[in-house]
Amino acid sequence: MVLGVIIAGIGCAHMTRETAAKADAARWPKGSSPQEIGKRVAERFVPTPYQNYGRTNPPTAILYPEVCTWYGALTFARLSGDKDLTARLIKRFEPLLTPPESRLVPHPVNVDMSVFGIVPLEIYIETKDPRCLALGKSMADNQWATPTNEDRLNPETRAWMAKGLSSQTRFWIDDMFMIIALQTQAFRATGDTHYLDRAAREMVAYLDELQQTNGLFFHAPDVPFFWGRGNGWMAAGMSELLRSLPENHPQRARILEGYRKLMASLLKYQDADGMWHQLIDHPEAWPETSCTGMFTFAMITGVKNGWLDGKNYGPSARKGWLGLVKYLNADGEVSNVCEGTNKRNDLDYYLTRKRNTGDFHGQAPILWCASAWLR
């Protein structure tokens, strides 16, 4: 019965959008359906001014949490058939294509800045606007270009590049959404498989370096903590890549193995209310919404694509979603979101991170989940 609930959305393709939305709502407690929640969170995003990590001064560039939320809002609008919402999300982007607002387009010098490209690439996929393709593709290509400061690169970076990895490689788990999503979106927009080859090669390198025997990931090689959102970036990155990676791709089996190993471990650490914690293996750590959203997204995606057994993972995905939406307030803002977090070999640093409300780090995964339920 639960598996039927998880995958029932697949059959909605044969319904009208209105009928599908009603059927979706009927499968969930009142006010918690992906259609309703996705719409609330996306509508909250549309009028929001460009953000600067919650600071009052205006941003100098569009930052990655906003990018990830924008991407999720676009995919939700497309999958729910909401053309008006899609149009308003694209209109929000339009000023960035010309001066003076184009100054806010990040210079893609690192993973956090480069991931901006997923938004224009998604808009291109939906509209075929060549300006968006050129912008997004340039960021994806730059991620593997030889840096202008090549003569000042450290030996580690040179060694990684010699193995076919990006010069932006640093072996922090956050990277495996920022790099993977951009390269995968470039493939989806162009059909050029060398973008997938790059992403797969990078993912395997991170799996080999950072995944531990229990299936979880250290934040970095020198930071032996299983940070929730960091593992969430890995879960989401593998899910995005596997959705597009061909069955016969030489790296697919290795990536699927790493994905399933992580998912199996996450089953053991999920609370009865559906939540995961700021540090996954520390029950005293607080329940954290951005990692819960990312893990739920990965499980929904895995069940719907047949990578995970629906009998075991379907209930966990549903429980994760229902636990997550309880943290959503009347304004469409999710609470208990870990603030932006650097790496640090210090347990208390992770346990005492500030809990934010309405932070895009938490808004984005809710939209990814809503999209995954509808996909």
The per-residue pLDDT for range 160-195, each reduced to its tens digit, is 999 999 999 999 999 999 999 999 999 999 999 999
Question: How is the chain split into domains, by residue range?
Answer: 2-58+155-374
Cis peptide before 246 (omega within 30 of 0): no
Do the beta carbons of residue 237 and residue 291 sit within 8 Å?
Answer: no
For residue 154, how far is the Cα from the chain centroid?
29
With cut-offs at 50, 70 and 90, classify the pLDDT of residue 53: confident
- Of 252, 258, 274, give the one whose Cα is nearest residue 324: 274
Q: Which two tokens stand for residue 160?
A: 């990684």
Q: Which of 31-40, 54-63, 254-263 has the least mean pLDDT?
A: 54-63
Would you tell me how many other CB atoms lie within 10 Å of the CB of residue 100?
A: 7
For residue 274, how far is the Cα from the chain centroid?
19
pLDDT surpassing 80 at residue 41: yes
pLDDT surpassing 90 at residue 355: yes
CA distance 94 to 98: 8
Bridge partners, 217 (sequence order): 211
pLDDT surpassing 60 at residue 10: no
The per-residue pLDDT for range 130-141, each reduced to its tens digit, is 999 999 999 999
The per-residue pLDDT for range 56-72, each reduced to its tens digit, is 888 999 999 999 999 99
Please state the pTM of the whole predicted model.
0.94
Q: Where are the beta strands (DSSP E) in 192-277?
A: 276-277
CA distance 122 to 131: 12
pLDDT at 150: 78
pLDDT at 38: 98
pLDDT at 60: 95
Using alpha carbons only, give the angle 241, 325, 4 rounded to the nearest 5 degrees: 65
pLDDT at 54: 76
Q: Which CATH fold would you assign to the domain 2-58+155-374?
A: Glycosyltransferase (1.50.10)
Q: Which helix (H) or strand (E) holds 87?
A: helix 83-93
As a whole number, the mean pLDDT across the chain is: 94
pLDDT at 2: 40
pLDDT at 4: 43
Q: Which of 9-13, 30-34, 117-121, 262-266 has the least mean pLDDT?
A: 9-13
- In 3-state terms, what secondary structure has residue 355? strand
Q: Is the dihedral of CA 104, 107, 108, 111 positive or negative?
A: negative
Instruction: Provide CB contacts within 8 A for 208, sequence distance 6+.
Output: none
The separation between the first and the last C-alpha atoms of the chain, rounded to the nearest angstrom, is 20
> What is the rounded average pLDDT of the residues 280-308?
98
pLDDT at 3: 39
Q: 172: which DSSP letter?
A: -
The share of the chain scoring above pLDDT 90, in percent, equals 88
Q: Which of 16-30, 300-314, 324-338 has the least mean pLDDT?
A: 16-30
